[in-house]
Structure 1
């Protein structure tokens, strides 16, 4: 198994370490922008370097991030998120109340940031986007009827396609003309609509 295809399911300790909006943001920035220092993260987030340094150490204590050993100095340490995917377990009835609360914080903040990056892309004016990148993206939503078995089949097919693309283009850091892109694949069942009780409405 290649490093890119490894999947780590966060345990209770890692979830609790990540369960802070600023730490989720730091973790997300390391994924999005690559290695950073406490100072560069502070500039991106609008916090002090002392604050980001504290949160970096907390994330590193649970192997969520690691120091870039061959880069930086004793005063300016570089940090990176290890390659590979993570599985964010959602709040589960089998969890303890504290673990469930941690899972709620992490998943809510992670997907809030994910939605924000999408909205930033959609609202970016053409003047801020190089011409060759303007029509390169794709945002598509489809709705269809599937059985659980069919949905599992589609999920496996989508995962196979994404894995093949990641494998094909991995290791392109520093390639001329390349920039980081966000590749997303989503498929989920829609919960039945909740019906309002007219008797409770004024």
Structure 2
């Protein structure tokens, strides 16, 4: 298993095991809401507990999730996503066609779920915001003109901020007043646009 300080890059087998929209959703829910049973996940997702149980076992077979042994009964098993960072490799020309297709499914579904979460936050009515959380969030987009070296430097700076936050707030999940939040950091180059000539700019 991956510990809190390691980054696990999913291999082809784990990618293929995760390459199902319902499994991505289950994995995401375990990250977002903590340990769940097949029944509780079925209620959230709107599936049968038999279906969620099947997909939980498939995820566990590749150590993407694990059973919480000190919780539950023989009839009701609890599952959790192990702590630690996971790298989901995107589609790559060096992959086999099957692995590339699996990577496409996984990355597309995670990004779709991420967008749904963002839109839910943006459209959430003020009355649904808990006290003190109304202006705590941040959604910001900007454009920069930089070199590859500068983007690498910026990526490392952002990663250091995220790593510091992870370490600072580690183990606070049971403290009063805390809520699970999602922290997103993205920096990537946009497709090259044709340069306008001097005459175009006049």
1:76 matched to 2:76? The reply is: yes
CA drift of 1:193 comes to 4.3
Q: Which whole-Å CA distance do the structure 1 matches of 2:174 and 2:8 have between them?
A: 27
Secondary structure of 1:78's aligned partner: strand
* Structure 1 unmatched ranges of 5 or more: 195-202
Using the size of structure 1 for normalisation, the TM-score is 0.93
Counterparts of 1:29 and 1:135, CA distance in 2: 25
Superposed, which structure 2 residues align to 1:177-196 within 5 Å? 177-193=177-193
Contact 1:91 1:101 in 2 (8 A): yes
- Of 25-34 and 171-180, the range deviating more from structure 2: 171-180
How big is the alpha-carbon RMSD for the aligned residues of Structure 1 and Structure 2?
Answer: 1.2
Give, in angstroms, the shift of residue 175 of structure 1. Answer: 0.8
The answer for the alignment partner of 1:130 in structure 2 is: 130
How many residues are matched? Answer: 193
Cα deviation, 1:8-27, whole Å, max 9, x if unaligned, reads 00000000000000000000
Q: TM-score, normalised by structure 2?
A: 0.93
Deviation at 1:6, TM superposition (A): 1.3
Q: Which moved more, 1:185-194 or 1:28-37?
A: 185-194
Cα deviation code 1:5-48 (max 9, x no counterpart): 31100000000000000000000000000000000000000000
Unaligned runs of 5+ in 2: 195-202
Cα distance in 2 for partners of 1:130, 1:157 equals 31
